[in-house]
Chain A
Amino acid sequence: MVTREDVENIALLSKLFVPEEELDALTKDMQEIIDFADTINNAVESGDDFDNINNLSNVLREDEVVESLPSEEILKNAPEQAEQHFLVRNRE
């Protein structure tokens, strides 16, 4: 059972606001999708565990420095910036 509280909790974890008036509809939606997901509950597993898709291991990089990008590039897409920092301005 998906409850309103469940939806409120996962919305908080997901950093999403769900308006009070949409909560019931969304809970119903989620319930439907979860019911659909529940069809796997009784599925029989072959016992073959999934590791990573091509069973790769030890893909590693050498510890060698490559020059970083200039800070103007790094900050290029920042909605707000100041003094070479990304900025969250306090509006209140």
Chain B
Amino acid sequence: MKYELVAGFETHIELATKTKIFCSCTTEFGGEPNTHCCPVCIGLPGTLPKLNRQVVNFAVKAGLATHCEIAEVAKMDRKNYCYPDLPKAYQISQYDMPLCLNGYVELSNGRKIRLERIHIEEDAGKLIHSHGDTYVDYNRGGVPLIEIVSKPDIRSVDEAKEYVEKLQQVMRYIGISDCKMQEGSMRCDVNISVREAGSEELGTRTEIKNMNSITNIAKAMEYEFERQCDVLESGEKVVQETLRYDDATNSTYPMRSKEDAHDYRYFRDPDLVTINVSREQVEEIKKSLPELPADKCKRYIDELEIPEKDAQLLTKYRNISEYFDEAIKGVKSPKTVSNFIIGQIFSRLETESDKEEFNIKTTPKQLNDLVKLLDEGKIRNNLAKSTLEKMLDEGKNATDYISESDMGGLDENALADLCKQAVEANPKAVEDYKSGKEKAIKAMVGFVMKNSRGRADAALAEQKIKDLIK
């Protein structure tokens, strides 16, 4: 039987605010244990939470960037469960009135992965288990998170990977999170089920918790898909359970749950008040958003005539696209700029994170100047390429390498002179040409180019030489 994979994601993203969600402690990653803490974020008796304005703004940004509706009225709820990393024994989260609802993320195959909601909540502290002892560090406790809940719209591992990458890309673009999975600032829970291909019904799902790399997500999903198919093939039923993926053995295991009878007993947090998001505020935040990668990509293709593949490379990271946008200002052919970036510049950036940082010596203005020299016909392509190499090495301006005398076309007389010299210096080529070897002309054009240090217009020179020989 042919089976189809059905997956939905719950993605936690740490927001890049300066302070925690309910107190003024820093959100900085790392730090000595229990040094980013105060009475509020370790839940001392009598302390009260106070919501960080920026958390609401960032969540609204995330919602707008993923085509969500922004709620006019939202509230905070308590999710009650007892665990040593949760100092109040409840997590302040949003239950039935989240900030953002009904969005989507569009994949390159045109499918839209629908988002059910985006809500804000606090992160828990960190537990270190050592020889059975449990060490607790609350530095991360109270760091703001958004949780993005998708519908079960994902149909393949590739779609899952792209979905996560797209989320990462857009959240980084709008500057609300660095989405570093290895540092835990982005974590995914994957709900996965299988069904007969073509069926409309959903199968029983399992949930793989806390995935912290795209590679692992892919491997875990592949494993779990196979496992569930095998279960169904053997005529048994998939058990709804929560799983942990083990990288070392590449397999999933049920998380032990003897102690957590899960009933979160959500209720409105009486220590916090209603959140109203005015439509004016939404408009203001909308205006503050940068052009989103999907829109940028489309614009590059439609308006700048950049090939789709190149447009995707240019928009993958915000730094690159912003560089590109700066560098094409006033140039005749954005494609030329794109070629320089994807060709010469990319060849110097080895890793993805190098590309993301896009830390190069040449400023967009410097590249822009270089391309304009080309546009104006002052220099030729070969010279531009070699010059860019030097610029990227040393960070200087194009004009530091190209002297005045290298620039500008030759005037009429100088070109005529050079062409005459070329004919005189190459009698053999003249003979050959006259006897029908058209290619022989190239040698004479080459002479002109060489002696003009690339300034001559090759096509014009060729015409002139032909006229002379006739």
B is a partner of A = yes
Query: Which residues of chain A (51-72) have a CB below 8 Å from chain B?
Result: 51-52, 55-66, 68-71
Stretch at the interface among A20-28, A34-42, A80-88: A80-88
A2 proximity list for chain B (CB < 8 A): none
Take A68-B26, A87-B133 as given contacts and tell me if A56 and B274 are in contact as well, using a CB distance cutoff of 8 Å.
yes
Please state if B261 and A59 are interface contacts (CB–CB under 8 Å). Answer: no
Please state if B132 and A90 are interface contacts (CB–CB under 8 Å). Answer: yes
Take A60-B56, A61-B50, A85-B34 as given contacts and tell me if A90 and B24 are in contact as well, using a CB distance cutoff of 8 Å.
no
B128 lies within 8 A of chain A by Cβ? yes
Kindly list the 3 A-B residue pairs having the minimum CB-CB distance in the complex, ordered from nearest.
A90-B132, A66-B24, A85-B135
Please state if B137 and A58 are interface contacts (CB–CB under 8 Å). Answer: no
22 contacts across the A-B interface (CB closer than 8 A): A13-B265, A56-B274, A57-B276, A58-B276, A61-B19, A61-B24, A61-B53, A63-B19, A63-B52, A63-B54, A64-B19, A68-B36, A70-B35, A71-B37, A83-B135, A84-B137, A85-B135, A86-B84, A86-B136, A86-B137, A87-B134, A88-B136
Please state if B35 and A68 are interface contacts (CB–CB under 8 Å). Answer: yes
Specify which of A15, A57, A70, A87 is in contact with B136 (CB 8 Å cutoff): A87
Smallest CB–CB gap between B406 and chain A, Å?
Answer: 53
B84 proximity list for chain A (CB < 8 A): 86, 88
Smallest CB–CB gap between B17 and chain A, Å?
Answer: 5
A74 lies within 8 A of chain B by Cβ? yes
Query: Which residues of chain B (119-178) have a CB below 8 Å from chain A?
Result: 128, 131-138
Query: Which residues of chain B (3-49) have a CB below 8 Å from chain A?
Result: 17-19, 24-26, 32-39, 42
Query: Which residues of chain B (76-102) have a CB below 8 Å from chain A?
Result: 80, 82, 84
Binding site for B on A (CB under 8 A): 9, 12-13, 15, 51-52, 55-66, 68-71, 74-75, 82-90, 92
A87 proximity list for chain B (CB < 8 A): 133-136
Take A68-B25, A69-B38 as given contacts and tell me if A59 and B273 are in contact as well, using a CB distance cutoff of 8 Å.
yes
Please state if B26 and A65 are interface contacts (CB–CB under 8 Å). Answer: yes
Please state if A74 and B18 are interface contacts (CB–CB under 8 Å). Answer: no
B51 lies within 8 A of chain A by Cβ? yes
Smallest CB–CB gap between B124 and chain A, Å?
Answer: 13
Smallest CB–CB gap between B272 and chain A, Å?
Answer: 8
Take A71-B33, A85-B34 as given contacts and tell me if A13 and B135 are in contact as well, using a CB distance cutoff of 8 Å.
no
B263 lies within 8 A of chain A by Cβ? yes
Take A68-B38, A88-B84 as given contacts and tell me if A52 and B52 are in contact as well, using a CB distance cutoff of 8 Å.
no
Smallest CB–CB gap between B280 and chain A, Å?
Answer: 13
Count residues of chain B with CB under 8 A from any CB of chain A.
Answer: 44
A-B CB contacts (within 8 Å), total count: 116
Residue of A nearest to B82 (CB): A15
B272 proximity list for chain A (CB < 8 A): 59
Residue of A nearest to B80 (CB): A13
Please state if A61 and B52 are interface contacts (CB–CB under 8 Å). Answer: yes
> Told that A58-B273, A63-B19, A86-B138 touch, could you supply 17 new A-B pairs with CB distance under 8 A?
A13-B265, A51-B274, A55-B274, A57-B276, A58-B275, A60-B56, A63-B17, A63-B53, A63-B55, A68-B36, A68-B37, A71-B34, A74-B37, A86-B84, A86-B135, A87-B135, A87-B136
Binding site for A on B (CB under 8 A): 17-19, 24-26, 32-39, 42, 50-56, 80, 82, 84, 128, 131-138, 261, 263, 265, 268, 270, 272-276
Smallest CB–CB gap between B321 and chain A, Å?
Answer: 27
Please state if B135 and A82 are interface contacts (CB–CB under 8 Å). Answer: yes
**A24 to B135, alpha carbons, bound, how many Å?**
38
**A15 to B38, alpha carbons, bound, how many Å?**
26
B135 proximity list for chain A (CB < 8 A): 82-83, 85-87
A92 proximity list for chain B (CB < 8 A): 132
Take A15-B82, A60-B56, A63-B53 as given contacts and tell me if A84 and B33 are in contact as well, using a CB distance cutoff of 8 Å.
yes
**A29 to B51, alpha carbons, bound, how many Å?**
40
**A83 to B133, alpha carbons, bound, how many Å?**
12
Take A52-B273, A56-B273, A65-B26 as given contacts and tell me if A13 and B33 are in contact as well, using a CB distance cutoff of 8 Å.
no
A88 proximity list for chain B (CB < 8 A): 84, 133-134, 136
A15 proximity list for chain B (CB < 8 A): 82
Smallest CB–CB gap between B180 and chain A, Å?
Answer: 20
Please state if B25 and A65 are interface contacts (CB–CB under 8 Å). Answer: yes
B51 proximity list for chain A (CB < 8 A): 59-61
A85 proximity list for chain B (CB < 8 A): 33-34, 128, 135-137
B53 proximity list for chain A (CB < 8 A): 60-63
**A87 to B275, alpha carbons, bound, how many Å?**
37
A51 proximity list for chain B (CB < 8 A): 274
**A55 to B276, alpha carbons, bound, how many Å?**
11
Smallest CB–CB gap between B96 and chain A, Å?
Answer: 13
**A66 to B19, alpha carbons, bound, how many Å?**
8
**A63 to B33, alpha carbons, bound, how many Å?**
23
**A34 to B306, alpha carbons, bound, how many Å?**
70
Please state if B42 and A74 are interface contacts (CB–CB under 8 Å). Answer: yes
Residue of B nearest to A70 (CB): B35
Please state if A57 and B26 are interface contacts (CB–CB under 8 Å). Answer: no
A52 proximity list for chain B (CB < 8 A): 268, 270, 273-274
Residue of B nearest to A57 (CB): B274
A62 proximity list for chain B (CB < 8 A): 53-54
